[in-house]
Each structure stands twice: as C-alpha cells, then as structure tokens.
Structure 1
Amino acid sequence: MILTDRYDAQARETELAAAWEREGVYRFQPAAGAPVYAIDTPPPSVSGHLHLGHVYSYAHADFFARYRRMRGDAVFYPMGFDDNGLPTERLVERERGVRAADIGRQAFIRECLAVSEAAERQYEALWRRLGLSIDWRYTYRTIDDESRRVAQWGFLDLLRQELAYRQQAPTIWCPECGTAISQAEVNDEGRRTTFYTLAFDLADGGALPIATTRPELLPACVAVFVHPDDERFQRLIGREAVTPLFGRRVPILADPAANPAKGTGAVMCCTFGDTTDVAWWRAHDLPLIEVIGRDGRLLAAAGRYAGLSTAEARRRIVADIAARAGLLDAQPLEQTVRVHERCDTAVETIISHQWFVRVLDQRARFLAAGDRIAWHPEHMGTRYRQWVENLNWDWCISRQRTFGVPFPLWYCAACGEPMTPDLADLPIDPSEDQPSRPCACGGTAFVPEMDVMDTWATSSLSPQIVGRFLADPALFQQVFPMTLRPQAHEIIRTWAFYTIVRSLYHTGQLPWQDVAISGWGLAADGEGKLSKSRGGGKVTGPQEMLARHSADAVRYWAAGTSLGKDAFIDEKRIQAGAKWVTKLWHVARFSERFLGDYACPPLPPADLTTADRWLLARLNQLIAATTASFDDYDYATARSEIEEFFWRDLADNYLEMAKKRLYDGGPGHEAARYTLYVTLAALLKLLAPLLPYVTDAIYRDLFAGSGGPATIHHAEWPRADERFDDPAALAAGVALLDIATAARRFKSERNLSPGAAAAELQLSVADEELRAALEAAELDLLSITRARAITFERAGNGTDWLAAGAVAIRLIL
C-alpha cells in the first residue's frame, strides 16, 4: 500500500481500531514459557462523565501493556466498570431526580441499572477510541452476577475467619447521603467558622471558660478534659462542671490528649464530635447521649432544640447563651472540617449497627505488605504507609443504601441469630430469597439484612473478579498474583489498601508486584482537578478532543508527564502531538520511495559512512535508554528520548545528510537504505506503545510485507545490536551536527534558506582521527550543507571562520 500524501488520522484510527478487534490483536493468549503480565485495571466508577483527566491516567496503563506485549509477555489486560454503590446512586439522583424513598427499592435499582448501562457504553466507546489495548472479553461490572458472587463469597470468608463483625458502635455518618461511610471516604476541607468561648459553672462555685466550634453538641456533653500537667486546672481535676443552658453536671478529667495551647486549654467531650471524643468515651467509660440523628438534625436529648439542623441549633444555642451572659468570646476561625468525599457534606459521628472488617489489629501486617510492593514513583509507598499508620477505625463496609451487593444473610425471627446461605446458592438477595434450611433453633421465619456492601467491598476484590476466581480457577492460577495495579494517588487509601487487605485475608498473597500511580489531569484555568460527578468544567470533552486532534495526539500529551505528577490539560501540547504524528508520516512517506521494495540484508553493507555509523550507534543508545525507561515505568523519559532522536538526529540531520546518496543511487546508496530501514523500523516499534495508530499504519504499509507480523503490536521489541556500538562514530556524529548547525546559522544570518547552494565548504580539523571520519562523510556533508566541494584547511582562526565544536568551518557561497 502506498502512503498517502496526507495522513488522515480520523479515518486511519477508525480503520485500525476495527482491524485490531477483527484480528484479535489484544487477546490474552498465554503461550508455554511466556511470562504473564496481568493488569488489575481500575474499573471507573459510574458517577458521571469521563473527562480528559481519565484519559490522562488510563493511557498510562496502556503504555505498559503495549510495551510488555512487544517484549513477549502474554498480556492480560481487562476492563471493568464499578457500577454498584453510592457513586452510581448519586448519579441517578442527580440525573433522574429520584430517590429510592420516592419510587421504591426495585424501581430505583432499575433506574440505577439503566443509567449505569448507558454510561458504560460511553466509557467503552471512549476507551476504544483512545486505543486502549483491552481484551474486551474479560469485561466485568461490579453489579453483575459473578461480581456479586465473589463479593458475597468474600464476605462469608471474612465471617468464617472472624475478620468481619457486626456491632453497634460510633460510626462516621453522612447526613446528606443517609449512610455510614468509612474513614477512607472522608476528606479534610478548610472552612470558616467561629470559635465560641462559653462559661461553664463549677458545681462548687466559680466558672470555667471552654472554647468550642460546636456549641450545638452541648446537650451531649459528658465530661470536660484538661491536660494532667496543666497547672491552671490541676485543682479542678475530679470536680464537676455544669453545662450552659442544659445544666448537666459532668466530671472534669485529665487526659494527655487535651491540648493546653488550644482554646482555653479545657475542652468538652461530647458524644460525638470527633475521634478524640470517641477515644475518651471508650477510655474513661463515659455515658452515651445521642444528640444528632441520621438526618443531621438534633434528637430529643437536645430538648427544645430537637428537630433543628445542626447549623440552626448552633445559632439558637449561641444566642440563648449570650442572652444569659454566658458567651465570653467569639472569634472567626479557619477550621479543617471532615467532609464526605462524595457530596462535601460535613460528616457526623453517631451510634449505629454496622458491619466492620478488622484492620486495626493487623496494621503491622499491612505495613509489611506495602514494603514488599514496588511503588512507582517510590514515594507513593510512603503515602500508603502514612495512611495505614494513621488508621483510627476498622473498615466499615455496610451502607444504608439501595443499589449495591446485598449482605448474604438473614436473622432468625425466633432467636436473632444470623443465617448464611450455602456457597452454591450465591449470589443471593436476602430480601427476595429465603434460606434453604431452618435455623439451628428450628425457626423458619427470617428477617433479611437490608444493608448493602460498600462499593469498595466489591472493587477491592477486582483481581479475584477479573481473574474469575470462582468461575475459572485455571485462569485465576495463570493471572494471580497480578503484575501491575495502575491507579490514581487519591485512592491509595481506598482501592490500593483495601485490595491488599482482601488479598492477604483471602489468599495470603500480595495482589500484585507493582503499583503505578498516576497524577491528576488539571484544568489550566485554575479550576484544579476535574471530577466525573462535578463535571469537567470548561475543559473540552475527551471525545471532542480526540476528534479534533486524533487519539495519538492526545496520548502524546498523556505521555508527557511522569507517574505521580499532575498534568495541566493544555491543547497546545496536544497540538504538538498532532504535529509529531504528521512529521512521522512525512518521514515515512519520504522513506517509502527508497524502502518500498527493499529487502533488508542480515548483515550491514561494508560501505557504511560516518553518518550511517553515527545514526546506528545513536539508535543503539536510544533502544537501551527507552527499554530501561519502560522497564522502570518511566514512559515520559522514553517519550523525551525518542522525540529528541526523531527530530534532531533523524529528521533534521540524518535525512539531510543521506539525501544525496539516496537520490543519486551511486556509492553509499545501499548503505543509506539499510541505515534508514533499520532506524525507521526500530523507531516505529519504540514509539508504538505511545502512538499506536500512526506507527501501525506506517508499519502495515511499509514493513509488514517483509515477513514480519501483520501488526507492529505483535512485533518484537527492538534490541540493541552490538555491531553498531561505535564510540568513534558517536564522537564524529557530534562534529557532523556541529558543522550542520554552523552552516545553517551562517545562511540564516544572511537571510538564505537552509537549502541554498554553496560553492565550497572548508573545514579546519586538528584531530587527525576526526578528520579521517569527516573525510569519510564527504557525501553526507555535501548533502546537508548543499556545498559543491569540500576542502580541508590547516588554518581556522580567521574572522571568517565559524566555530563548530571541535571543528572550524568556512562556507564559500
């Protein structure tokens, strides 16, 4: 096939995507002896529309998949969709304007399924358009039957090992979403508030000033704490204080967690304002007063303030205290507030029955596991460690929502004991199904567990789900432990941590050996991180950007920033990628007239010129550097090395040096063809993981007919050829580039084009070995400088001589 004058990226990318699917190019086909490279691909949550930030991070995993496939690995690269749980419910509430309470459980589940299916079709279309080399046969949904089966099996296995438990305990609660959440779903957000100093009466006379940002919790105050070494309060330890308005007598206790420098140094303990309150409540065996309900409004314990929102209760309580002269001070304060990551609502701590997975007593085990995993970049392992070290809660996995994986159990109506199903019956919905046997007490009436599992309780089992742990043990044996987990840094605390927990608990093994952490795609206009649920802001949508510039151009941008680093979404950088694609096509089209019928010999010609030997030596360097970069998950350095070689060494210089030999067909013609063939073929392969479309288009048109595989993506990764290791040629190549640069500068200063002819090129070279190399490059120097003759002079320090590194030149027009 003849390369067209113009590369039509949209048409060729569409054509190649169809060919890849038709030919099964990316199917997982393990061969005897071939290592398996399995990728635990992030299943995007169905919570909104994908944006260029997703394109940025998902492209990274594809770079690695394509590289390892060309290295001979059997690549297992699946895709999933995380479509159960709160993110999808929030999307349905937003887009359809309905809640489960409004239309009923089953109707709401149908809405969730319809919305998620539509979103997943859009997600898949984008991933296919971007050129992700997914094996779509291994696609899963976290709400599908097999995912639910694995999730329910996993819960029963935790139950069997006594690693899961249900209890009534302090729980992080989101009033907006109406559910318990885990510590990992809480973000810190800076908000402006007021620090109120209130007068607490002492039961035996006097007053004690106490500062708080949450006076609405006064009805739940159960103690006052001071630091044991704070001399201001030592005389008060063991006495009682009386809460303003409510008149409750509470003990004044000492605890090292009380901060003498914060507020007045005395702090009220309420059930519950924060994790410190919970710790004090447990450590000092304090009473429990529930004052905030599941809807975020005050309960009966608040007296006349019951039914008010926390904000309104705060306003009224402060006003009433001030009316009684009990408000001593009020100062504005910038405070860090704990909010739910899904809705930015300030969370509360309430008492509720929940299911938990034990993690706190296994902290050392999880820290040791993190140390055995290779984190890319390395410092992301520190983030994991810090998260594990700062855990305060066991993992709460139950949610008081509708669309999720049901807990597979019932409670006996007679004795209250839980009843679990047989494993063969999974998956089950306890609200629809009944146990297949009576309770041990003989009871046959059961109450279903209506809570659903946290979405992370399912997606933390992604290696087991996609490896078909229960359905296809032979496949699971092949792909587990998996090789790579690619993901974003903000979910180290959730997806990475929880997957490690589940893998250790269920298999005793690490889930993967490498973790590649991508940064965020940031809006260049200061909007910051893009979000599916909050929209992509003013940034152009990914499909529009792909249509405007091509998938290869967008992937070029995604490859420009290293793992772990955020990248601004800059259309100019994407345009630079499009420019590279066009230039690559033009270089290939120029080469086609010389390589179209070329049968590359196994041995290089004997008459390689200095320029040939230099380019081949540089190619060796490039192959080694690019391979090392990809091995280290450093696609950005690989791109930079390839780009510099392509533009400086090949396009701008070697082709200009070799043109005369290529066109004239005389001495050195076959050497130039050989060098061009070897270099272009290797360069395309090095680029293929990053720019899969244009490289395969050129390969199929120009190289596939010479006996290699039908697609570049099944071609063998280039290997450095020791025959081309040539330090002398590399040194001479530097001189060639210096001479070419000086000649171009000379012409530019005289407003001449680079192709303007010159009568003579005079060279002054002190080093005899370098002079011999340049003499052997005469045809190449004539070609690139457009000189008609070359002479070597002894002098070279006159005013009309130009310095060119180790050489001086004079160009005679």
Structure 2
Amino acid sequence: MEPKISEKAWNPELEKEILKKWEDEKIYDFTPQDDNYTIDTPPPYPSGRPWHIGAAAHYSQIDMIARTARMSGKNVYFPIGIDRNGLPVELYTEKKHNIRMRETERGEFLNLCREALDDLEAEMIVIMKSLGISGDFANYYRTDSEEYRSLTQSTFIELWKKGQVYLANRPNNYDWVSGTTIADAEITYQDLPTKLVYMKFKIKDTDQEIIIASTRPELLCACRTIIVNPEDERYTKYIGKKIIVPITNVEVELKTHHSAKEEFGSGAVMVCSYGDQNDVALFRELELEEIVAIGLDGRMTEVAGEYVGLKPKQARTKIIEDLETNGFLEKIEEINHRTPISERSKIPIEIIPMEEYYLKQKDAIVKIKNLGQEITFHPSMHKQILMNWLESINIDWPISRRRFYGTEIPIWYCKNCSEPHVPEPGKYYRPWKEKCPISNCSKCNSTEFVGEERTFDTWMDSSVSPLFISKFNRDEEFFKKVYPASIRPQAKDIVRTWLYYTLLRCEQLTGEKPWSEAWIMGYGLDEKGMKMSKSKGNAIDPLPVIEKLGADTFRFWSASEINHGYDFRCNEQKIESSKKFLSKLWNVSRFLSSFPVIKSGDLTASDKWILSELDNLVKECKKGYDEYNFFIPAIAIREFTWNLFAAHYIEMVKARAYGIEFTDEERDGAIFTLHKTLSTVLKLLAPITPFITEHLWKILYSEESIHKEKQVDSENLEEQSNITKEITEFNSKVWNEKKDQGLSLKDSIKIEIPSMLEPYKKDLKSMHNLID
C-alpha cells in the first residue's frame, strides 16, 4: 500500500502556505457571543531591532493559550496590539538621526519617531505571523493612535473629576539622561562598586570630632542634619550639639533617629537632600529645609559652590581630594552599594524636587491586595511579586513625564491666574499645539490659555489595554460581552508595572478586576544564564531561526525547554534538536498513512494497552493545558509518541496491521488503534505545533482545520500502566539478546514470553520473530 504522505520529511516551507490558508479562510475571526474568552495580549514594543528570541518564545506560548482555549470550546477574542509610546523610540530616533529631542522642533521629532516605529513594527508583525500567532492582525491596534490616546486622556479626565489626580512639588526619581521623572516601578537596583568615604565633622566649640561615612560626599552642601541611633551610646553626649559640616562650614544639629544603623560605617549619618529615599522620608518627618544640589541637567547647582557644573561623579572625585587636602578625610573603603538605576537609560537616578501630577494609589493598596488574591496566577509563585510590590508602595504615582512621544496630558492653564482646566472626554487633545476648547476660565473668566507640554507615563496608556480592546466607553454592548478579560499573559519583570497599574486603573474606572487569571513567564537567558536584551548585545534574532528551522520547531522547543514560570536559556542548537521529534512524528504519520482510516475494530490486549496509555496521556495533557503549562503536554507527548507508541506499540502490531498471519478483525483492530492514537496525539499537540498537526490532520483525517476540533477528553479506561514496564522490558531484553548474538532485528530467536504477557503473545511473536 502506497502511503498518502509521499514526502519523506516535514518541510517548514509548508508553513507559509498554511498561514495563507488560515488567513484566507478566516478561521480565527471573532464574533462576540454571550460568553467569551478574552486575552489581554501584551502589545510588544518595537525599538531597535524588534524582539529577541526569548520574547518570540513568550508570544508563541501566549498563542498556545489561545489555541488551547479554542479547542476547549471557548469563543476566543485574541486582539493584537503594538505599544508605540514612550522613551525607547525617542532614544532610537535621536541615535538614528544624530539629533537631540529638545533641540528639534516637536512636530518634526514626532514625525521621525512615527517613521521609525512604522519600519520596526512591520518587521515585528512579520515575526508574529511567522510564529503562527492566531491573533486578530486585521484589526491590530497601536497605542499611539488617536483612538487609543483619546481613551487614555478620557480615563484621566474621569479620574481628575473624581479627585484622584493632583499636582504637587515633591522629591522625584529623576532620569537626567532622558530628562524626566520616573516612577519607583521603573527603577531597578544594582550592586555597584563605590567608595564609602569616612569624613571628619567638627563639634562646635570643642576640639572634638565625629566620623561620618557616606557614599555621596558631593552632597555635603545639601546636608541639613546628622542622625545617630538612639541606642548608640558612642554619641549620647553629642545629642543636640551643633556639628560643623566640612568644606561648607555650615552648622547642623546632631539628632537621634531609629533609621541610623550602628553597624554601618561609623553609625553617624548625614541627611542630605536627596541622597536616597531614606533622606526623602527624613526630610519630611523632621521638616528640614531642602537644598537642590543637583539640577535637571544632572549637574551640581550653584549651591555646590566651586563644584557647580560638575556631574555628581566628577564632584565626588574633586571633593574627596579637597577633603584630604584640608585634613577632613579619615579613610576610604571600597564597597558594593545598592544603587537605584533607571530601567530605560541604565544610569543611576538622582532624586530632585519637581512639580508633577500624581495619581492617588496609596489609599487603594488594601483594595488592590484583595483583588490580587482573587486572581489565579500561573504559576502561583509569581503572585508574590505583586504582593511584595504592594507592600513597598509609600507614595502616590507620579504620572507626568517631560518627554515628547507620548500621550499628552489634556490640561490648559489660564494665562491670567494659572487655574488648570480639563476638557470634556471623547477626543484626542494636544495642548502644546491646539487652542483650548474651553472659552473662559472658570475662576477669573479670562479667555487666554496655555497648553500643558508634558506627556503621561507610558504605563498610563498600557494600563488601560483591557479597556481599549473591550471598547470601553465606545461600544457598551461589546464591552459587556468581553470585559472583564479572562487572562493577562505577560513576563514577570513587568508585574509591578503593567500588571499592577492595570489593576489599579481598571478598578478605579470600573470597580472590578480586569481579568480573573494572570499567566506569568520567566526571562529568556543567553547560554551563560544572563538575561537576554538588545542593549547587552546578547540577544538572538528569532526571524533567521524561524526561517531556517520552522515555527513549529521553535514553538516545540519553547514549550519543552523548561517548566512554565522559570527563566530559560536560549540556544540555537537546542532549538534545532527539537526538529528530531517533528521528524519522528512525520515518520510515524507517513507509515500510518498507508492504512485506511476505519471507525472500529476488534481490539486485542495490545490495542487496549496502548489506548489505556493514550488515555493517561490525555489526562496528563489536560492537566498541563488547564494550568497553561505547556511544558507538561510537550514532554508527555514526546515521551509517549517516541518511546512508547513508535518504539513499542507500532512495532508490536506492524505485521497485524498488514494482515500477515492475522484475521481481518485483528488487522482492523490494529489499524483502528493506530489511527485513533495518532489522531489523538495530533489534537493534543495542535496548540503547541499548529502547522505540522494541521498538515497531517488534513491529509489523514479531515478537510476541516484541526484548530476547529474540540480537544479530546479522557475515556477513563481501565488502568494498564502496570503492564507497560513488563512489555518494554521484555522488548528491550529481546533486542539486547539479538544484539549480543550478532542477529538482526528481523532474525528469529527463541526466548520464552513471561506468563504475564500471555495476552500479548501473538503480537510479540510476530514483532520479534520468536520461535517456540
């Protein structure tokens, strides 16, 4: 019998044809019903070369969530978006055109950013489609579209009217490279080598001195008090005394405070505005007068005296030299210091008093904690990231940014009295270039206004993604059907930003949580275990890998590489090795394509045994798919198909399937079982490797797409796993014996079949050519 499948190997080039058919047949089109499964898909950000291989693996698995849900009978809404707001494109545009944002006309700079994003976005869409992602590309959204930005502004206006937004001048995290305030959530911490400088501070009207250690001696000019721990007996006699700050000769008072640690440095601490967040808290608590020592340009201000204009690091070096020259230097220790770093520019931040808009969040922490407890996290361990972050929040969210490419804050100020005015929601406003839509000031009746030039923190946009995709305030009927979303899939590094801010904003606007499940993936690492990123130069471009090996090979590697939620290493050789399993699946399918598909047959003990093991596979896969942990079905399917179905069962029934020395009924039992097993394996594997399963399914079983099939359920067959070990060990024994005797696998041999395997005797005899 000639096999229906003539090709000897799976050709990844076929994936392009299959993609075209899916697109033409619109098999993933969404029509809202009463019950829908909405995926709040993360909109990827195109900056530089879009995506690395770890991100591609992430989105492959998000698609597995969608395909799993469809085959579970759910009506899946899988929107696709592109995140186009924020700092990365500004930096990319500056570098590409060798310009500076603030030295370029704003409109011109924005156009250059859009052009850059268009080019990068096009490549990103190609990668996503090549991966077989079954989202709604025909209607994909952009976060910089007028429609999206209008929603961001509308939600801000609503919260403004509710009194949730306010303007305040406070110490803020400042990224002087990008020239903007950043939120705590946009900061990472690194242990960086630095100098701990021990300085001599004179006690006024005495010849005594105390030693104070600091990593920020350049902030001596901003020192406003000295603190020691109240339990530190070394300084008891100096409490309340005036202390003279070296270099500046300013007098400050020595006070006690529990935050001073006796074991750090000398135990005495200078409190400056602002070395760190502890300084910020102390200045508020002790009502100290702040001194702005570092300006918006990241350089020392005039209060620094002769150090004015120097960058903090330069000032630090110079002031250490002067301390030593003037006899104020005790010693220097080289230490590793936990330093706050801007996630975007990768440089240490400064804390500078700035006037910014804040969204209230402190009062909502308990409510968000309760909502977080209601959400099922996959895996559950990553819920703790959210809870830890909620515990650390101690200020409201600064939402204004001093950048260009972002959603503008929709506020105009009265030119006469400075009263802020927000317009009615419903359209996209650009106050920096548009006339105020309000005719008269509500406070002084003036008719002249000045538009706000600042933009929102990009998370103000991203945090309304579930509202945008559900057409919040645009289509009430659609919104009711698809909101709240079912699941939020994302990486673990943005739990404290995207996930948290979405919870906060959606609760403020709708009074409920935006989704019931959160799926959190680990980092893609390089071969050395370092986090993969474009900035480090260790990122692998996924497109050449996909074009060379095929999306299914890539996707199967992604699923089978490591248990969900953990970091994973990316290695092209490992990805290529995944192709071996697809080759095995192809070979099995090609062999079975020689036999007709029949609906029933008389089952022998061998058939019942493999169907029992198949039922166990179904149960195992269901467990993995229910948890969105694709590692479980990927490993289980590979193990079953390769090491049980192909290696043992097919070999046992091959002669029977051909009808050699078996009855027609026995032959049909084998053929029925072979096809039932393969068709089930294809269905189980379809969410992970959609292309090869589609191709084989259509050749062997149906003209309809496998992705419209319902996933198989367990039949709760009689458990026969106890016999599996006996069968596999007996087969291995025969193979080894033939090898030891220098026989081929086809040669006859005399080996007694154990009594436990008596029901399988006929198949085993034909398989091994056993003689009595």
**TM band (smaller chain):** over 0.9
Q: Bigger CA drift: 696-705 or 431-440?
A: 431-440
Match for 1:514 among 513, 517, 531?
517
Residue 505 in structure 1 maps to residue 508 in structure 2: yes
Q: For residues 401 and 181 of structure 1, what CA distance do their matches in structure 2 show?
A: 11
On the 8 A contact 1:419/1:435 being kept in 2, the answer is: no
On the 8 A contact 1:660/1:779 being kept in 2, the answer is: no
Q: For residues 65 and 17 of structure 1, what CA distance do their matches in structure 2 show?
A: 16
Deviation at 1:165, TM superposition (A): 1.2
Match for 1:757 among 722, 747, 754?
747
Q: One-letter code of the match for 1:28? A: F
Deviation at 1:186, TM superposition (A): 0.8
Distance 1:150 1:291, change over 3 A: same
Q: One-letter code of the match for 1:406? A: E
What is the match of residue 347 of structure 1? 349
Q: For residues 227 and 579 of structure 1, what CA distance do their matches in structure 2 show?
A: 65
Q: Bigger CA drift: 235-244 or 292-301?
A: 235-244
Match for 1:786 among 760, 769, 772?
769
Matched ranges for 1:142-153 at <5 A? 142-153=143-154
Distance 1:302 1:700, change over 3 A: same
Q: What per-residue deviation string (whole Å, max 9, x for no partner) do you get for residues 282-317 of structure 1?
A: 011101111100111010111111111111111111
Residue 726 in structure 1 maps to residue 710 in structure 2: no
Deviation at 1:533, TM superposition (A): 4.2
Deviation at 1:520, TM superposition (A): 1.1
Deviation at 1:749, TM superposition (A): 2.4
On the 8 A contact 1:409/1:430 being kept in 2, the answer is: no
Q: What per-residue deviation string (whole Å, max 9, x for no partner) do you get for residues 430-449 of structure 1?
A: 43242242111211111111
What is the match of residue 397 of structure 1? 399
Residue 674 in structure 1 maps to residue 675 in structure 2: no
Match for 1:373 among 361, 375, 396?
375
What is the match of residue 553 of structure 2? 553
On the 8 A contact 1:552/1:577 being kept in 2, the answer is: no
Distance 1:8 1:645, change over 3 A: closer
Deviation at 1:351, TM superposition (A): 0.6
On the 8 A contact 2:38/2:487 being kept in 1, the answer is: yes
What is the match of residue 320 of structure 1? 322
Q: What per-residue deviation string (whole Å, max 9, x for no partner) do you get for residues 124-143 of structure 1?
A: 10010011111223411110
What is the match of residue 802 of structure 1? none
What is the match of residue 809 of structure 1? none
Question: SS of the counterpart of 2:603?
Answer: coil
Deviation at 1:642, TM superposition (A): 1.1
Q: For residues 324 and 722 of structure 2, what CA distance do their matches in structure 1 show?
A: 84
Deviation at 1:361, TM superposition (A): 2.5
What is the match of residue 729 of structure 2? 738
Moved >6 Å (runs of 4+) = none
On the 8 A contact 2:151/2:426 being kept in 1, the answer is: no
What is the match of residue 708 of structure 2? 714
On the 8 A contact 1:63/1:689 being kept in 2, the answer is: yes
Match for 1:777 among 750, 760, 770?
760
Question: SS of the counterpart of 2:109?
Answer: helix
On the 8 A contact 1:148/1:458 being kept in 2, the answer is: yes
Q: For residues 163 and 526 of structure 2, what CA distance do their matches in structure 1 show?
A: 46
Question: SS of the counterpart of 2:480?
Answer: helix
Q: For residues 716 and 4 of structure 1, what CA distance do their matches in structure 2 show?
A: 28
Q: For residues 33 and 293 of structure 2, what CA distance do their matches in structure 1 show?
A: 63
Question: SS of the counterpart of 1:28?
Answer: coil
Deviation at 1:352, TM superposition (A): 0.6
Q: What per-residue deviation string (whole Å, max 9, x for no partner) do you get for residues 471-516 of structure 1?
A: 2222222221111111111111111111111111111111111111
Residue 529 in structure 1 maps to residue 531 in structure 2: yes
Q: Bigger CA drift: 567-576 or 500-509?
A: 567-576
What is the match of residue 698 of structure 2? 700
What is the match of residue 165 of structure 1? 166
Q: For residues 687 and 433 of structure 1, what CA distance do their matches in structure 2 show?
A: 58
Residue 475 in structure 1 maps to residue 478 in structure 2: yes
Residue 128 in structure 1 maps to residue 129 in structure 2: yes
TM-score, with normalisation over the residues of structure 2? 0.96
State, as a whole percentage, how many aligned pairs show the same letter. 32
Question: SS of the counterpart of 1:344?
Answer: coil
Match for 1:19 among 10, 18, 21?
21
What is the match of residue 633 of structure 2? 638
What is the match of residue 609 of structure 2? 614
Q: One-letter code of the match for 2:402? A: Q
Q: For residues 471 and 111 of structure 1, what CA distance do their matches in structure 2 show?
A: 31
Question: SS of the counterpart of 2:138?
Answer: helix
Q: What per-residue deviation string (whole Å, max 9, x for no partner) do you get for residues 71-126 of structure 1?
A: 11011111111111112212222333222223211111011101111111111100
Deviation at 1:534, TM superposition (A): 4.3
On the 8 A contact 2:403/2:455 being kept in 1, the answer is: yes
Question: SS of the counterpart of 2:305?
Answer: helix
Deviation at 1:28, TM superposition (A): 1.6
Q: What per-residue deviation string (whole Å, max 9, x for no partner) do you get for residues 222-264 of structure 1?
A: 1111111211112222221111111111111111111111111
Q: What per-residue deviation string (whole Å, max 9, x for no partner) do you get for residues 2-57 of structure 1?
A: 4232334332100001111111111223445xx42111111112223211010121
Distance 1:72 1:427, change over 3 A: farther
On the 8 A contact 1:380/1:489 being kept in 2, the answer is: yes
Residue 412 in structure 1 maps to residue 414 in structure 2: yes
Q: Which runs of 5+ in 1 are unaligned?
A: 792-813
Distance 1:89 1:569, change over 3 A: same
What is the match of residue 659 of structure 1? 654
Q: For residues 182 and 614 of structure 1, what CA distance do their matches in structure 2 show?
A: 60
What is the match of residue 176 of structure 1? 177
Q: Bigger CA drift: 417-426 or 609-618?
A: 417-426
What is the match of residue 87 of structure 2? 86
Distance 1:613 1:233, change over 3 A: same
Question: SS of the counterpart of 1:777?
Answer: helix
Distance 1:686 1:224, change over 3 A: same
Q: For residues 155 and 27 of structure 1, what CA distance do their matches in structure 2 show?
A: 32
RMSD: 1.6
Q: For residues 346 and 739 of structure 2, what CA distance do their matches in structure 1 show?
A: 59
Q: For residues 82 and 74 of structure 2, what CA distance do their matches in structure 1 show?
A: 25
Q: One-letter code of the match for 1:345? A: I
Q: For residues 331 and 675 of structure 1, what CA distance do their matches in structure 2 show?
A: 74
Match for 1:295 among 294, 297, 305?
297
Q: For residues 30 and 645 of structure 1, what CA distance do their matches in structure 2 show?
A: 38
Q: One-letter code of the match for 1:739? A: F
Matched ranges for 1:88-107 at <5 A? 88-107=89-108
Count of equivalent residues: 763
Deviation at 1:759, TM superposition (A): 4.5
Question: SS of the counterpart of 1:9?
Answer: coil
Q: For residues 318 and 732 of structure 1, what CA distance do their matches in structure 2 show?
A: 78
Deviation at 1:733, TM superposition (A): 4.1
Q: What per-residue deviation string (whole Å, max 9, x for no partner) do you get for residues 535-563 of structure 1?
A: 444x3x21111122111111111102122
Q: For residues 495 and 154 of structure 1, what CA distance do their matches in structure 2 show?
A: 16
Q: What per-residue deviation string (whole Å, max 9, x for no partner) do you get for residues 633-677 of structure 1?
A: 221111111111101221111111111011126411110111112
On the 8 A contact 2:4/2:594 being kept in 1, the answer is: no
Deviation at 1:181, TM superposition (A): 0.4
Q: Bigger CA drift: 399-408 or 576-585?
A: 576-585
Q: For residues 122 and 288 of structure 1, what CA distance do their matches in structure 2 show?
A: 49
Q: Bigger CA drift: 112-121 or 469-478?
A: 469-478
Distance 1:593 1:125, change over 3 A: same
Q: What per-residue deviation string (whole Å, max 9, x for no partner) do you get for residues 577-611 of structure 1?
A: 2111111111111111103xx3x33xx43x31111
